[in-house]
Structure 1
Amino acid sequence: MRVKIMARKAKSIGGQRLDAPVRRKAVAYARTSSAANTGDDKDSQKRQLVAMEAYAARHGVEMVADFYDVAVSGADHLGTRRGFGDLLAFLDENPDVRTIIVETANRFARDLIVQETGYALLKARGIDLVAADSPGAFLEDTPTAIMVRQILGAVSQFEKASIVAKLRGARERKKLATGKCEGRKSHAEVRPEAVALAKRLRRRSPKTGERRSYRAISAELAAAGFFNERGRPFDPKSVALMTG
């Protein structure tokens, strides 16, 4: 992955550059599998950092921080790595830094599945991952890498379909049990007391045989302290639904 740098001619006023190229910012990530490879007399971290700094210098990238995982296997999931966790936290706090540089692809992860899932995670967060020795390493479509991506995609699709099927089954069971599952809740579910009063008020008068109008019932409900979700008396149509 080659970093593009702006190449426009810089303008200046009073000797101050106004249109200088903006250098892309990056962080470095180093990893060693064994604690025996760390220490002042060891060069693993130093060698990795030198290679990453050299890449940054060649491509005009500004290295703003470096992170290091000691005695971490290349097969360990990224979520278990303390140094990498600190790196992600740093990127969250610095949204202008969107590139991670590693010495080689296997310094990021030796296990191909960990490598592919990790790369996909970073890509989803808008973060570029670059191997200093081979900038296109994470973009190469080797037969094995393609197979892993296809398997991961199939697993993801299977999990999504399974969740959809489970939710559909749950909705259908609830509908069979209660007669309803989706949509807006009825007045009886939200305001059972108001509905009970509205039905009682809607009964025919034993003397005249007439019913109260929906508007009159709405006024009675308001007098009893029952209002709609907007704090206003119920519309006659709403009263009709309550008493229907």
Structure 2
Amino acid sequence: MRVIAYIRVSTEKQLDGYGLDVQRDAVRAWARTNGHRLVLIFTEEGVSGKLEERPALAEALRALKDGQADGIVVPKLDRLARDLVVQEQLIAEVWRMGATVFSAVASEADYLVDDPADPSRKLIRQVLGAVSEYERAMIALRLRSGRARKAASGGYAYGAPAYGQKAVDKELTEDTREQDALARMIELADDGKSLREICAELEKEGHRPKRGDRWHPTTVNRCLTRARAAA
């Protein structure tokens, strides 16, 4: 079967540690083991699980709708969504296309098929989704608490600065190198370059993302959106 993969990281820890590379390896190994042909990998870098903030997921769903693949695999079900309602909506949407949802985690595989003769499959999948949603809420609570403590001590308290900025002595200031890259992004976009073409040009010219070595279309799109909103 032809399958596409969707991988996602949402935190700096994931970007620096066990994130994208581990997820790519997981879906590739799953495809080899199960005899499927992995035709595309859609990558969402440093974004939350909110649907409106995930352009790569929208691209993956369009690829399924256009018949480029017969199924979609995620390294783990919570990469698809950490919200139970969103999880079930996405799975149902893929099924309506006549496609299949897979997880590279063997213990999750049986729960991605609704079997009228075994309703426990759907129940367990939804319980797992509810647990993921709870974990996301607890992470958000810890972040808010940490930011409140940092703000009370007079420090910058709102997570990693956006591309083009950096925190110096507890204050936000412009990052000259990143501002140059932002200006180049806007110039290339105004020239009609696609997101992938902009990524290639930035790497060719030596402009680096805030984390990692490679630019991704999702990252460029987010930078452009923020830059234009601030203009």
Q: Provide the TM-score with structure 1 as the length reference.
A: 0.44
Larger helix share, 1 or 2: 2
Q: Which has the larger radius of gyration?
A: 1
Q: Provide the TM-score with structure 2 as the length reference.
A: 0.47
